Structures are given as structure tokens and as C-alpha cells.
A and B are shown apart, each in its own frame.
Chain A
Amino acid sequence: EAGVAQSPRYKIIEKRQSVAFWCNPISGHATLYWYQQILGQGPKLLIQFQNNGVVDDSQLPKDRFSAERLKGVDSTLKIQPAKLEDSAVYLCASSLWSSQFTEQFFGPGTRLTVL
């Protein structure tokens, strides 16, 4: 079974530029998450999708971050404009369904450096 795919793996941009990340979850997984992992910290949820609908985006900085999952499969996360403090690893995860008991499967992440 293929895992969660993410691209690009690395991205370096200057502040005020825009950037987009792509995620393809495990086939058949209805729930998709985007987490932000700052160096030295654990991952923190940005947004959760159930199929193509948003379940939780309470921690997404909506003035600069946006995400979509139009067809309920792959997803993109965009930052516009980027700030220095956005330097982090952006992790995508998926699970079969949205349940308190179900584990999440993580992709390798995209490491973003904002100069």
C-alpha cells in the first residue's frame, strides 16, 4: 500500500513570496490533515478535511494560509505572503475515517525555509 505522498520535499523562498504544497493521501482515506512542525516542537494542526469539506480550521492563520481539497482526494496548502516564522516542516496525514480511535498516517513532509 502506497503511503502519503507530499511534494516538494524542500522549498526555500524569500519572505513575502508565496508557496504551495501538495499532498496525496493513502487511497480511500476520507480524512486529511495538515500539520505544521516547527523545529524543536511537536506537530500542530493547521486544518482537517473530511472528504472535500473542512472539519476544523480553527488554528489556520487565514490571513495568509489557505488550503483546499476540491475533489476529496489530494490537497494543496498555500502560504501567501510567507513570513520568517513560517519556516517549518509541513506534514500531511490521512486516516481512513474521522474517528477518535483511528491512527493517522503521515507523509514525509515539506521542509520550508523562509529567508
Chain B
Amino acid sequence: AQSVAQPEDQVNVAEGNPLTVKCTYSVSGNPYLFWYVQYPNRGLQFLLKYITGDNLVKGSYGFEAEFNKSQTSFHLKKPSALVSDSALYFCAVRDLNQAGTALIFGKGTTLSVSS
């Protein structure tokens, strides 16, 4: 079965420091991976995706993610965190076992950036 795991419930960083939110995946074919962010009382916002090609993917708001096939990981990164980055982050993988194009989400990681 396809799945994603986000091993950390919460990540705490100080403003200006680099941040990493971890994600590992398990798929039976090519992985199509996504990161979304959710602010309180708002829907999920797309940050970036990996389909194929360069292992370093750049996305919105200065975020990037590194795809590592050997470690089956797709960690989200940002060189310098902002307080406004505090939110709930979800890693997701395309569900290739079903007829459609739904996403399978991890349980989410809360990022807290302190000033």
C-alpha cells in the first residue's frame, strides 16, 4: 500500500534559522510527491511538487524540497524561517492504486517559528 509518514508532530525553530520538515514515502511505482501548508481556518495551500527530474524542487514562499530516492524521503526545507511560516504542513503522495488521482496525506507536522 502507498503511504507517507511525517515522523515529527511538531518542529520548533527560531526565526532566521533554517528549517526542515521531514517526510518519507512508500510507493509501488514512480512517486509523485506534494507539500501543502494549512493555516488556521483555511484550506490547504499548494507549496511544491516532485514529478521527475531535478531532485531539488523549489516552491512558493521560499520553500524547497529535496527528493532522495535511496532514502525514500522528500523533506521540506527553507534556509531562513519566518514567524509567518508557523502553520501545519502536510506531505502527500499520489495514490496510484485507485482509479482516480487522489492524494494520500501524512498526518501533518506543526511548524512553530519563534521570534
Question: Which residues of A approach B to under 8 Å, CB–CB?
Answer: 3-4, 31, 33, 40-45, 48, 50, 55-56, 58, 91, 93, 95, 98-109
Contact = CB atoms under 8 A, between A and B. Distances in A.
A103 B46 contact: yes
Contact of A103 (B43, B49, B100): B49
A95 B98 CA distance: 17
Nearest to A101: B51
Interface of B: 32, 34, 36, 41-46, 49, 51, 90, 92, 94-96, 98-108
Nearest to B94: A100
Contacts, number: 70
Given A99-B101, A104-B46, A45 B106 contact: no
A41 B104 CA distance: 11
Provide the main secondary structure of the chain A interface. Answer: loop
A103 B34 contact: yes
B43 to A, nearest CB: 4
A58 B46 contact: no
Closest 3 interchain pairs by CB?
Answer: A42-B105, A56-B100, A106-B43
B106 to A, nearest CB: 5
Contact of B103 (A3, A45, A98, A109): A45
Contact of B99 (A56, A102, A107): A56
Given A42-B106, A91-B43, A107-B43, A102 B101 contact: yes
A91 B104 CA distance: 14
Given A45-B102, A45-B103, A48-B100, A105 B46 contact: yes
B6 to A, nearest CB: 8
A107 B45 CA distance: 9
